[in-house]
Amino acid sequence: MVERTSKFLLIVAVSVCFMLILYQYVGPGLSLGSPSGRSYSEELDLFPTPDPHYVKKYYFPVRELERELAFDMKGEDVIVFLHIQKTGGTTFGRHLVQNVRLEVPCDCRPGQKKCTCYRPNRRETWLFSRFSTGWSCGLHADWTELTNCVPGVLDRRESAAAK
Which is more confidently placed, 157 or 127? 127
| Alpha carbon separation from 142 to 58, 76, 110, 139, 154 (Å, rounded) | 17, 23, 29, 9, 17
Round to whole Å and give the CA distance between 85 and 96: 17
Asked whether residue 51 carries a pLDDT value surpassing 70, the answer given is no
Mean pLDDT across 22-46: 61
pLDDT at 126: 87
Asked whether residue 114 carries a pLDDT value surpassing 60, the answer given is yes
Mean pLDDT across 72-98: 82
Q: Angle at Cα 69 formed by Cα 66 and Cα 71, nearest 5°?
A: 150
Confidence category of residue 139, pLDDT binned at 50, 70, 90: confident
Round to whole Å and give the CA distance between 150 and 116: 17
pLDDT at 103: 87
Q: Which residues of 67-102 are buried (b: 16+ CB within 10 A; e: fewer)?
A: eeeeeebeeeebeebebeeeeebeeebbebbeeeee
pLDDT at 13: 93
Mean pLDDT across 78-82: 84
Catalytic residue among 53, 83, 95, 140: 140
Provide the residue count of the chain: 163
Which is more confidently placed, 46 or 98? 98
pLDDT at 65: 80
120 touches 104 (CB < 8 A): yes
pLDDT at 30: 61
Is 83 noted as a catalytic residue in this protein? no
Confidence category of residue 11, pLDDT binned at 50, 70, 90: very high
Burial of 111 (0-12, 13-18, 19+ CB in 10 A): exposed
